Amino acid sequence: MRSSAVSLAAASVALGVVALVLFAAPLWYAWQVTIQESRTEILQADAQRLAEVYRRDGEAGLAATIGARVRMQIVGERILLLTDGRLRPLAGNLASWPATVPTAPGNYRVTLQSGAAGTQSALAHVERLGDDYLLVARDNRLFGPLVHRFWYGLAAAFAALLICGTLVGLITRRRLMWRVHGIRQTISAIMQGDLKQRLPTGRREDELAILAHTINGMLDQIEVLVNGVRNVSNSIAHDLRTPLAELRSRLEQLALIRPSPAETFTEVDGAVADIDRVIRIFDALLRLAEIDAGVRRAGFVRVDVSDLAATAAEFYAPAAELRDVRLECRVGGPLPVVGDPVLLSQALANLIDNAIKYAPAGGGVVEVVAERRGDGVEITVSDNGPGIAGGEKARVLERFYRGDASRGTPGAGLGLSLVQAIAKLHGCGFELRDRRPGLEAALRFPPAAATARAERPDAAASAARAILAPHDGR
Amino acid sequence: MKVLLVEDNERVSQFVLKGLQEAGHTTDHAANGRDGMFLAASEPYDVIVMDRMLPGDVDGLAIIEVLRRTGKRTPILILSALTEVDDRIRGLRAGGDDYLTKPFAFGELLARIDALHRRAHGVRPDVPLTVGDLHLDPLTRKVSRGDRPIALQPREFKLLEYLMRHAGQVVTRTMLLENVWDYHFDPQTNVVDVHISKLRQKIDAEFERPLLRTVRNAGYMVTSGE
């Protein structure tokens, strides 16, 4: 298995080796150059001193000095050789002039064959004293241990790097695997249906913890959705069962009693009304599903919400009149937003319908206001009815929830959740505020929705709407 | 009126055919796409009612597209169990003239077939409309009954105009919502009825003969006849 921890460690080790080489190579080079230079200087100074002796005491004197020096020193450390003009040795610790060394004065790097020590690399200096030749050489072997120590050090550093890297890689991998294993266990528990489980996040804020936080957020959302679906299916079961049960008993009764034709027709009409109720709930649910799925966003165009608000208010005016409720509509100039005109109309209609239903009959006031507020656009629908208690506000947005006050009034309890879903689709805020007395429902379009240009040009949009609404020559 | 129904469900077909015949229309029926295509292309119909989902995975829309491409301009009403608005738009783009979702009330279907037929036979938008002694002039936007002028709000005018253009035909609440208010959703109230009763107050209240009638279980009709 290719582990990310191991490859990371390997990469670090490789990087360390490169750094080591980059560090050692110049050092090695500088060292070599310096040693060469200082040793050459030493040889030259040595030769200089011997030349001094030659000038002062002549050939015999120098031969004696060299002889004394050779006897005093340790074997092989320093090589001295004095020969006459025909390269016959006069004094020194070499038997003859080595073939590898030229006779011209200067500095050479050579290989020498010297008695017991065998072949050795050396630095040689050749000097011409009168007719004689002087060879001063110094064995390189002296620096051997130093060079070895340098290479050993380098090798040790390399090994340490390798071992540490491998260890770190293995440990990291173990720890990662351990944490990943924890996550996997939690996730498999979740997959088995325990949606309450959450990933361990620990106290640290590392990458895995951030990932775990994100996944936990996702799980929260999934849990909410799943619970929502569960609630909805329970509610569907309840809300569809009731009218279907009524329908069933109505028809059964009819088959059983076989009443007069007139009565039969009344019952049949009632049955059709029952079915219409079921269909209505179905349609509302389908629309909710459609909105939740976000497919409707494809139909977004530029619409004037003040126009929509005015139309909705005007549509409901007779209904308000019938209940002796004053319906006021205050809309400013055009307030263009990007949205689905059908859905926005439906949201407004639902809000106004609710407001009229809950405003007290005789003396109730419903206000519809559309205005620019700050950067955005806000539409509010308010009434002076009983309002909604603080705790109930969130619940009225739930699907199929019907407040105690609404028992006995028609409706499936989907109105406000539909408004909320529509608001969500449009990126709108939807808020229910207390008005004491009464309730204010506010739809807030953010600046983006309120000012953004429609994705489709308006011509195409109106064409689409024209198709939707085949007019009779209007 | 000669109507072709392309629909595979036997019970729905029987029900619709019987209803159409009772309403005085001549009917033909095709239970699959091929027969439907053949009949629609060869016989002169006034209106075609086309189901979207036909046996053998044939989409009614494909048939409509072919008909339109061959130059057939017969008004087509699409029946579909698919309610998504997107679907509705696609149906109308393909060349359908109206769209009705299943399940539907027969009154709704009949009213829409009538409206389609009426529309196909030339509507002149500017010609003054007259029903009995009720006059409406779309150009000057003046309404009068007998010699008495009637003042209407703009929306009331639109409502009356739509009803008068379909004089003698049943107009359903849904048709009114769609065509007068441009509302393609169900407001789940009886507000349309309230609008109608307000309109009735203005055009019928002080006259002996009511012109705006309620058709039980279907909708409304403006007519001067019995």
| b/e sequence B133-158, b meaning 16+ C-beta within 10 Å | ebbbebeeeebebeeeebebeebbbb
Q: How far is A460 from chain B (nearest CA, A)?
A: 13
Q: Do B88 and A469 touch (CB under 8 A)?
A: no
Residue A142 has pLDDT above 80, yes or no: no
Which candidate from A296, A342, A470 shows the least CB-CB separation from B98? A470
Residue A435 CA: distances (Å) to CA of A177, A324, A368, A401: 57, 21, 14, 22
Residue A459 has pLDDT above 60, yes or no: no
ipTM of the complex: 0.78
Beta A106-114 vs A325-331: how paired, if at all? unpaired
How would residue B195 be classed by pLDDT, with cut points 50, 70 and 90? very high
Domains and CATH numbers, chain B: 2-120 (3.40.50.2300), 129-222 (1.10.10.10)
Query: Rounded mean pLDDT of B160-168?
Result: 90
Is-above-0.90 flag for pTM?
A: no
How would residue B5 be classed by pLDDT, with cut points 50, 70 and 90? very high
Q: What is the pLDDT of residue B216?
A: 81
Most confident of A101-105, A337-341, A365-369: A365-369
Domain limits, chain A: 4-146, 207-283, 294-468
A residues 342..361 contacting B (CB < 8 A): 342-343, 345-346, 349, 353
Which candidate from B179, B184, B185 shows the least CB-CB separation from A471? B179
How would residue A403 be classed by pLDDT, with cut points 50, 70 and 90? low
How would residue B122 be classed by pLDDT, with cut points 50, 70 and 90? low
The radius of gyration of chain B's CA atoms, rounded to the nearest angstrom, is 19
A371 touches chain B (CB under 8 A): no
Residues of B in contact with A474 (CB under 8 A): 125, 158, 161, 179
> Do A207-283 and A294-468 agree at the fold level?
no
Going by C-alpha positions, the residue among B38, B36, B48, B42 that lies closest to residue B1 is B48
Residues of A in contact with B187 (CB under 8 A): 315, 346, 349, 353
Q: Do B217 and A410 touch (CB under 8 A)?
A: no
Separation of alpha carbons A62 and A51, rounded Å: 8
Beta B47-51 vs B76-80: how paired, if at all? parallel
Q: Is the peptide bond before A437 cis (omega within 30 degrees of 0)?
A: yes
Q: Do A472 and B93 touch (CB under 8 A)?
A: no
Most confident of A33-47, A236-250, B78-92: A33-47
Three-class DSSP labels, chain A: CCCHHHHHHHHHHHHHHHHHHHHHHHHHHHHHHHHHHHHHHHHHHHHHHHHHHHHHHHHHHHHHHHHHHHHHCCCCCEEEEEECCCCCEEEECCCCCCCCCCCCCEEEEEEEEEHHHEEEEEEEEEEEECCEEEEEEEEHHHHHHHHHHHHHHHHHHHHHHHHHHHHHHHHHHHHHHHHHHHHHHHHHHHHCCCCCCCCCCCCCCCHHHHHHHHHHHHHHHHHHHHHHHHHHHHHHHHHHHHHHHHHHHHHHHHHHHCCCHHHHHHHHHHHHHHHHHHHHHHHHHHHHHHHHHCHHHHHCEEEEHHHHHHHHHHHHHHHHHHCCEEEEEEECCCCEEEECHHHHHHHHHHHHHHHHHHCCCCCEEEEEEEEEECCEEEEEEEECCCCCCCCHHHHHCCCCCCCHHHCCCCCCCCHHHHHHHHHHHCCCEEEEEECCCCEEEEEEECHHHHHCCCCCCHHHHHHHHHHHCCCCCC
A290 touches chain B (CB under 8 A): yes
Q: How far is A433 from chain B (nearest CA, A)?
A: 24
Residues of A in contact with B217 (CB under 8 A): 269, 272
Query: Rounded mean pLDDT of A211-215?
Result: 87
Q: Do B84 and A473 touch (CB under 8 A)?
A: no
Query: Rounded mean pLDDT of B173-190?
Result: 85
Q: How far is B223 from chain A (nearest CA, A)?
A: 18
Residues of A in contact with B181 (CB under 8 A): 311, 315
The count of CB pairs under 8 A between chains A and B is 99
Closest Cα in chain A to B97: A470
Closest Cα in chain B to A472: B119
Residue A461 has pLDDT above 50, yes or no: no
- pLDDT digit string, tens, across residues A346-391: 899 989 988 998 888 888 899 999 988 888 899 999 998 887 777 7
Residue A110 has pLDDT above 60, yes or no: yes
Which candidate from A280, A314, A472 shows the least CB-CB separation from B119? A472
CATH level 2 (architecture), domain A4-146: 2-Layer Sandwich (3.30)
Q: How far is B26 from chain A (nearest CA, A)?
A: 25
Residues of B in contact with A314 (CB under 8 A): 155
Q: How far is B47 from chain A (nearest CA, A)?
A: 16
Query: Rounded mean pLDDT of B189-212?
Result: 88
Contacts of A132 by beta carbon, 8 Å cutoff, 6+ apart: A54, A59, A82, A83, A84, A85, A90
% of chain B residues with pLDDT over 70: 97
Which candidate from B86, B92, B162 shows the least CB-CB separation from A295? B86
Q: What is the pLDDT of residue A2?
A: 62
Going by C-alpha positions, the residue among B165, B198, B171 that lies closest to residue B113 is B171
The CATH number of A207-283 is 1.10.287
Q: How far is B182 from chain A (nearest CA, A)?
A: 7
Q: What is the pLDDT of residue A410?
A: 44
> For testing the chain B interface, which of A282, A308, A315 should be mutated: the one with the most B CBs within 10 Å?
A315
Separation of alpha carbons B5 and B25, rounded Å: 12
Q: What angle do CA B217, B220, B224 make, to 5 degrees?
A: 130
Q: What is the pLDDT of residue A409?
A: 45
- pLDDT digit string, tens, across residues B18-67: 999 998 899 999 998 888 988 998 889 999 999 988 887 778 888 899 99
- pLDDT digit string, tens, across residues A259-289: 888 888 888 888 888 888 888 777 777 777 7
Q: Which CATH class is domain A294-468?
A: alpha beta
Q: Do A469 and B182 touch (CB under 8 A)?
A: yes
Q: Do A315 and B162 touch (CB under 8 A)?
A: no
Residue A454 has pLDDT above 90, yes or no: no
How would residue A235 be classed by pLDDT, with cut points 50, 70 and 90? low
Q: How far is A380 from chain B (nearest CA, A)?
A: 19
Query: Rounded mean pLDDT of A166-176?
Result: 87
> For testing the chain A interface, which of B82, B184, B197 should be mutated: the one with the most A CBs within 10 Å?
B184
A417 touches chain B (CB under 8 A): no
**Residues B191, B135: contact at Cβ < 8 Å?**
no
Q: Do B86 and A298 touch (CB under 8 A)?
A: yes
